[in-house]
A = this chain, B = another copy of it.
């Protein structure tokens, strides 16, 4: 809590070993900011609250991020990096991409703050003058395009259910995911998001859930469904 321990993380012990300290501080600020923006949204979240959780003053915080909007952008950008490295949404293998959706949904259930953040912010950013409006517009376009590609590939393999169009499937999958998060945040007992998504994806396409691509008869733990 106190920052009197100057010897904790001097990774680069050479000249000016303060780099690591600043980096750690920035990370701590971003962690706190994510929490605050998740709990109250961007507009209601305050720099004061963020600074307090980190244990510094508002002015100290603004030394690391010039203003509130910059802080928000840093939070979103860092979050995106982490998601991208976790889920291969732009994979060439549509099965892998859709498996990634379920995997990410399952993981998110263990990190409620992130779900809160995106759920609250995406609704708030619906307003055209919101600082994250462009970010979310673009993000949805990108995600739709990625799913469109996946479902398009599945369609060409004849693995889409009859009457399902790739365009519609992409929109519906995203909508479903978002909507399930709202209900989950209001009452965590009411729905298992990963389960529901898994089931609905099955209703859209014939997806290989096991990673039995190269190795035919590897590990089948889910064949009893």
Contact = CB atoms under 8 A, between A and B. Distances in A.
Interface of A: 39-41, 43-44, 116, 119-120, 122-127, 133, 136-137, 140-141, 144, 163, 168, 171-172, 174-180, 182-183, 185-187, 190-191, 196, 199-200, 203
A202 to B, nearest CB: 8
Top 8 nearest A-B pairs (CB, nearest first) are A175-B179, A123-B123, A179-B179, A178-B179, A43-B44, A126-B185, A175-B180, A120-B123
A164 to B, nearest CB: 8
A171 B175 contact: no
Given A41-B124, A127-B40, A182 B176 contact: no
A219 B174 CA distance: 36
A133 B174 CA distance: 24
Nearest to A126: B185
